[in-house]
């Protein structure tokens, strides 16, 4: 398994400069993850690279000459959004990411069979709280803000959720076909305020798209699970055993601290802004500094067990550090995260079992 970094925090600096700095100051990093999302495009120009082979080869050379491989393109957005502009931009950037990833080669990592690993990270998206789908497939969404249903009562919320899922299944069925034809895996990040946010909702979308996790997989990010009392290790095992298709395509390294004082008063859900750290019921922290009442401290032991669980189910791609610790600089957060992951990640293939014959 490799250690990587989502380089979005350095969006204001040119890609060659960022890679040179990372290679010099954080030599244990081996991969980069590059964002091409609704929320910003800084280090990659998919439409240009799709059309211009020379520019595409130049992009790959910049990554390789910088001392890295590309673990994924991240096209996070909301293709189900009730605002057509947001939905259309998200859709186009996801499709561009799929198309570009299908054409990249030299800068990608290879799997055990020597095939390039082609992954595009994304969100499932979330439609309006209320929508209608006509017999001809026409969709009308009411309002301009997505609506997240997380409780089946009153009954209209359950009915609305099912309409959202029906809509999502139709949209993602097309994305899955497009990605499958291109030889690219899609990887949902199970983020709150999106339709696929836990195991049951991910499996629901899979069933509605007709996929089994082979193409529509996951970007496993434990930081979004901790504060909801989900055990990421248990989720990894459950989904692998349930699907049997190695659904985890990519993995984020990010941690969360659940504030037991604030959760004792407010519970786990809160709309307190991220900037008011002392008032929040949870906050993102650097790898190794997290805690929650289900998993306990997210120390070296926890991260080693998490990574081992991933590898027990044949995941051997990358753990890509995502820095969102508001109490640390990018450099300090990345450096401290690496101190944990360098010890937790098994960087070499297992040796033979010399102590047993079976």
DSSP string of 233-251, one letter each residue: HHHHHHHHHHH-S--EEEE
Confidence of residue 348 (pLDDT cuts 50, 70, 90): confident
Query: Residue 35 pairs with which residues in a beta bridge?
Result: 74
Q: Please report which helix (H) or strand (E) contains residue 335, including its range.
A: helix 330-344
User: What's the confidence (pLDDT) of residue 246?
Assistant: 97
Phi, psi of 253, rounded to the nearest 5 degrees: -100, 100
Confidence of residue 55 (pLDDT cuts 50, 70, 90): very high
- Any idea what DSSP says for residue 279? G
Number of neighbouring beta carbons within 10 Å of residue 329: 11
The count of C-alpha atoms lying within 13 angstroms of the C-alpha of 28, restricted to the half-sphere facing its C-beta, is: 19
Q: How far is CA 141 from CA 83, 111, 131, 158, 280, in A?
A: 9, 42, 4, 17, 32
Q: How far is CA 262 from CA 276, 290, 292, 307, 317, in A?
A: 12, 15, 12, 30, 37
Is 294 within a domain? Answer: yes
Residue 81: is its pLDDT beyond 90? yes
User: What's the confidence (pLDDT) of residue 357?
Assistant: 84
Pair of tokens at residue 174: 């097309």
Residue 31: is its pLDDT beyond 90? yes
Q: How far is CA 281 from CA 150, 200, 225, 292, 331, in A?
A: 18, 24, 14, 11, 26
Q: How far is CA 162 from CA 144, 148, 151, 235, in A?
A: 19, 12, 12, 23
Question: Which residue in 282, 288, 323 sits closest to 307, CA to CA?
Answer: 288
Is 161 within a domain? Answer: no
Pair of tokens at residue 242: 């349930």
Residue 350: is its pLDDT beyond 90? no
The residue written with tokens 């350095």 in the block is 10
User: What's the confidence (pLDDT) of residue 40?
Assistant: 83
With a pLDDT cut of 70, the percent of the chain lying above it is 100
Is 78 within a domain? Answer: yes
Over residues 135-164, the mean pLDDT reads 95
> What is the count of structural domains for the chain?
1
CB of 282 closer than 8 Å to CB of 258: yes
Each residue's pLDDT tens digit, 213-263:
999 999 999 999 999 999 999 999 999 999 999 999 999 999 999 999 999
Is 149 within a domain? Answer: no
| b/e code 29-44 from CB counts within 10 Å (16+ = b) | bbbbbbbbbbeebbbb
Is 55 within a domain? Answer: yes
User: What's the confidence (pLDDT) of residue 314?
Assistant: 95
CB of 89 closer than 8 Å to CB of 38: yes
Bond before 154 cis per omega within 30 degrees: yes
User: What's the confidence (pLDDT) of residue 347?
Assistant: 83
For residues 284 and 321, give the distance between their C-alpha atoms in angstroms, rounded to a whole number.
Answer: 12
CB of 216 closer than 8 Å to CB of 188: yes
Pair of tokens at residue 124: 């499932």
Over residues 137-148, the mean pLDDT reads 95
Question: Which residue in 94, 246, 251 sits closest to 171, CA to CA?
Answer: 94
Mean pLDDT, the chain, rounded, equals 97
The residue written with tokens 């390789």 in the block is 64
Confidence of residue 152 (pLDDT cuts 50, 70, 90): very high
Under 8 Å CB-to-CB from 262, ≥6 apart: which residues? 270, 279, 280, 281
CATH number at residue 95: 3.20.20.150
Residue 349: is its pLDDT beyond 90? no
Residue 202: is its pLDDT beyond 90? yes
Counting every residue written for the chain, the total comes to: 358
- Any idea what DSSP says for residue 110? B
Each residue's pLDDT tens digit, 283-329:
999 999 999 999 999 999 999 999 999 999 999 999 999 999 999 99
- Name the pTM for this structure: 0.97
User: What's the confidence (pLDDT) of residue 70?
Assistant: 98
Is 88 within a domain? Answer: yes
Is 356 within a domain? Answer: no
Confidence of residue 75 (pLDDT cuts 50, 70, 90): very high
Is 99 within a domain? Answer: yes
Confidence of residue 142 (pLDDT cuts 50, 70, 90): very high
Residue 32: is its pLDDT beyond 90? yes
User: What's the confidence (pLDDT) of residue 54?
Assistant: 98
User: What's the confidence (pLDDT) of residue 244?
Assistant: 97
Expressed as residue numbers, the domain containing 172 is 2-124+167-344
């Amino acid at each position: 398994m490799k250690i990587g970094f989502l380089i979005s925090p350095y969006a204001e600096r040119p890609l060659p400069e960022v890679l040179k700095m990372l290679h010099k100051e954080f030599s244990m990093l081996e991969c980069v993850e590059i964002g091409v999302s609704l929320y910003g495009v800084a280090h990659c120009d998919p439409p240009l690279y799709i059309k211009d082979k020379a520019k595409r080869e130049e992009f790959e050379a910049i990554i390789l000459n910088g001392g890295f491989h590309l673990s994924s393109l991240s096209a996070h957005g909301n293709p189900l959004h009730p605002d057509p502009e947001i939905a259309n931009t998200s859709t186009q950037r996801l499709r561009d990411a799929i198309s570009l990833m299908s054409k990249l080669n030299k800068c990608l990592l290879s799997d055990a069979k020597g095939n390039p690993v082609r992954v595009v990270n994304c969100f499932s998206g979330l439609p309006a709280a209320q929508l209608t789908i006509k017999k001809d497939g026409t969709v009308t969404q009411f309002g301009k803000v997505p609506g997240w249903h997380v409780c089946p009562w009153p009954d209209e919320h359950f009915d609305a959720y099912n309409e959202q899922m029906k809509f999502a299944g139709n949209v993602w069925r097309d994305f899955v076909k497009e990605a499958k034809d291109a030889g690219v895996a899609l990887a949902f990040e199970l983020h709150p305020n999106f339709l696929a946010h836990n195991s049951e909702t991910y499996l629901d979308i899979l069933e509605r798209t007709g996929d089994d996790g082979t193409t529509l997989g996951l970007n496993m990010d434990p930081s979004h699970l901790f504060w909801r009392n989900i055990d990421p290790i248990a989720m990894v095992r459950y989904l692998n055993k349930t699907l049997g298709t190695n659904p985890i395509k990519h993995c984020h390294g990010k941690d969360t601290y659940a504030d037991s004082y604030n959760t004792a008063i407010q519970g786990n859900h809160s709309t307190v802004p991220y900037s008011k750290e002392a008032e929040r019921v949870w906050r993102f922290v650097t790898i190794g500094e997290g805690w929650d009442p289900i998993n306990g401290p997210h120390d070296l032991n926890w991260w080693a067990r998490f990574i081992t669980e991933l590898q027990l189910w044949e995941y051997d791609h990358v753990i890509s550090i995502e820095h969102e610790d508001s109490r640390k600089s990018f450099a300090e957060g990345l450096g401290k995260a690496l101190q944990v992951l360098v010890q937790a990640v098994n960087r070499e293939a297992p040796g033979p079992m010399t102590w047993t014959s079976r």
